[in-house]
Amino acid sequence: MKSREPTPEIFKLVYKLSRWKTKSERYFTAFDIQEAFNGFCYAFVNGHVNSNNVTIYNICRYDRFADRWYDETEQVKALPTYCKRRGKVLKLIKQ
């Protein structure tokens, strides 16, 4: 029997930039939630997110069979070391 390659999941990060009133969404394709969160941190630190202050409200995983988004914010372990740069503030709100 053949072994299957792992398939990546689709993740949605809901965040708000420093003084904005509306929330934004960014989508990632990754193998786990920590990889998607690290991708967002990398984009934030390297200037692809247009703010120095970001609040992340939730991180959801898409279940393609049930056609639903499941909140998995509690599974994020910690901020990566490169995400702690001077002048950049990233907050993760776990509800």
Chain Cα centroid distance, residue 73: 9
Helices (H), 1-94: 33-45
pTM score:
0.85
Q: What is the pLDDT along the chain (95 residues), one digit of tens a residue?
A: 678 888 999 999 999 998 889 999 999 999 999 999 999 988 888 888 888 888 999 999 999 999 999 999 888 887 777 777 667 777 887 76
Q: What are the structural domains of the chain?
A: 9-92 (3.30.2260)
